[in-house]
A = this chain, B = another copy of it.
Amino acid sequence: MKKIVTLGEIMLRLSTPGFERFVQSDSFDVVYGGGEANVAVSLANYGHDAYFVSKLPKNEIGQAAVNSLRRFGVHTDYIVRGGDRVGIYYLESGASMRPSKVIYDRAHSSIAEADASDFDFDEIFKDADWFHFSGITPALSEKAAVMTEEALRAAKRHNVTVSVDLNYRKKLWTPERAKEVMSNLMQYVDVCIGNEEDAEKVLGFKPGKTDVTSGDLELAGYKDIFEQMMKKFGFKYVISSLRESYSASDNGWSACAYDGKEFYHSRKYDIRIVDRVGGGDSFAAGVIHGLLEGKDFKDALEFGVAASALKHTVLGDFNMVTKDEVETLLKGDASGRVQR
């Protein structure tokens, strides 16, 4: 059982039931989620001691967010209570050629306005094995960028392995600002996860021609970029999930990775989508779990892909699947036959 720390925002997710559109819905389904929180839940599900670090207001909505993490075994000891509000995102699920829609209402959240001094990072990273963050955390605000670097410095002081999911969010910052902040933070990172859009927007790398809407994936371009990234930042591993959007209802899902020697392309899953939000987070968590368990890199990658393929069939941001369920799929049984 490893101690893993993730740092970021957990939001209130308000989603319309089933396929209802925003303008016709009389109720919202309520869950809580966010990149790093989602990673923490997956790792708790796999049996690790996962700690999610954030700030949430001292009201019942903040408490409900805390409870949602505790429910799935995430440690919430390092969550600071204060500030004004829980960030929100509204979600409408698409179908067929109608895309899903996300409306963010996250400005001024407690974590976006938190100060590095709210957290005792030396206490937090004591005996920790892994630290994971995403490009969303430093994008929340200037203070959040400072806080993220503070956390990274502390992690390194405690010899903690660091992974990042680049996760570019155009509503939060410009590519210029992203490059400025993130290029600096990369010095602390061991494992870098991010797709081609992230690599370009966040770090300025540009692969060969890939057109995400056509499902035309140019693996060669990925390899080229991964080599550049490794060379520039000294990552140990560079990894990307690969999504082929046939429609809002059906996707292809695989991943590729580079360990400095070999370039891998995983098994590909064709998925009938139930809920694709958090797919990337569950992939990151799966790979981290594989590496923490000492799997070889290729196997860790496959664990990540299988875990995140399953996520697409699970409602909510959190990937509520067990290690056993991922292993069963890894062994090749994707037939979906009833388990009695």
Q: Which of B24, B27, B274, B320 contacts A28 (CB 8 A)?
A: B27
A315 adjacent to B18 (CB under 8 Å): yes
Q: Which of B14, B98, B334, B339 contacts A336 (CB 8 A)?
A: B98
Given contacts A28-B27, A338-B276, contact A96 B248 (CB under 8 A): no
A31 CA to B71 CA in the complex, in Å? Answer: 13
Nearest B residue (CB) for A22: B60
So how many copies of this chain end up in the complex?
A: 6
Neighbouring B residues of A29 by C-beta, 8 Å: 26-27
B213 adjacent to A315 (CB under 8 Å): no
How far, in Å, is A33 (CB) from chain B's closest CB? 12
Question: Is A1 close to B, CB under 8 A?
Answer: no
0 or 1 for each of A12-49: is its CB under 8 Å from B? (1 = yes): 00100111111111111111000000000000000000
Given contacts A23-B60, A24-B316, A30-B25, contact A334 B97 (CB under 8 A): yes
0 or 1 for each of A76-114: is its CB under 8 Å from B? (1 = yes): 000000001110101010111111111111011000000
Question: Is A272 close to B, CB under 8 A?
Answer: yes
A332 CA to B211 CA in the complex, in Å? Answer: 13
How far, in Å, is A240 (CB) from chain B's closest CB? 16
A interface, over-half SS = loop
A233 CA to B184 CA in the complex, in Å? Answer: 62
B30 adjacent to A27 (CB under 8 Å): yes
A337 adjacent to B245 (CB under 8 Å): yes
How far, in Å, is A273 (CB) from chain B's closest CB? 8
A212 adjacent to B335 (CB under 8 Å): yes
B313 adjacent to A23 (CB under 8 Å): no
22 example contacts (A-B, Cβ-Cβ < 8 A) are as follows A17-B27, A19-B274, A21-B314, A23-B72, A27-B27, A27-B29, A60-B103, A61-B103, A61-B105, A67-B71, A67-B72, A68-B71, A88-B88, A94-B336, A95-B272, A95-B336, A96-B271, A97-B309, A97-B313, A107-B108, A212-B335, A213-B332
Question: Is A50 close to B, CB under 8 A?
Answer: no
Neighbouring B residues of A275 by C-beta, 8 Å: 19
Question: Is A146 close to B, CB under 8 A?
Answer: no
A339 adjacent to B19 (CB under 8 Å): no
How far, in Å, is A291 (CB) from chain B's closest CB? 23
Neighbouring B residues of A86 by C-beta, 8 Å: 105
Neighbouring B residues of A163 by C-beta, 8 Å: none
B60 adjacent to A99 (CB under 8 Å): no
Question: Is A132 close to B, CB under 8 A?
Answer: no
Question: Is A265 close to B, CB under 8 A?
Answer: no
A333 CA to B27 CA in the complex, in Å? Answer: 29
How far, in Å, is A111 (CB) from chain B's closest CB? 15
A337 adjacent to B212 (CB under 8 Å): yes
Question: Is A292 close to B, CB under 8 A?
Answer: no
Question: Is A329 close to B, CB under 8 A?
Answer: yes
Given contacts A107-B84, A249-B272, A272-B247, contact A97 B336 (CB under 8 A): yes
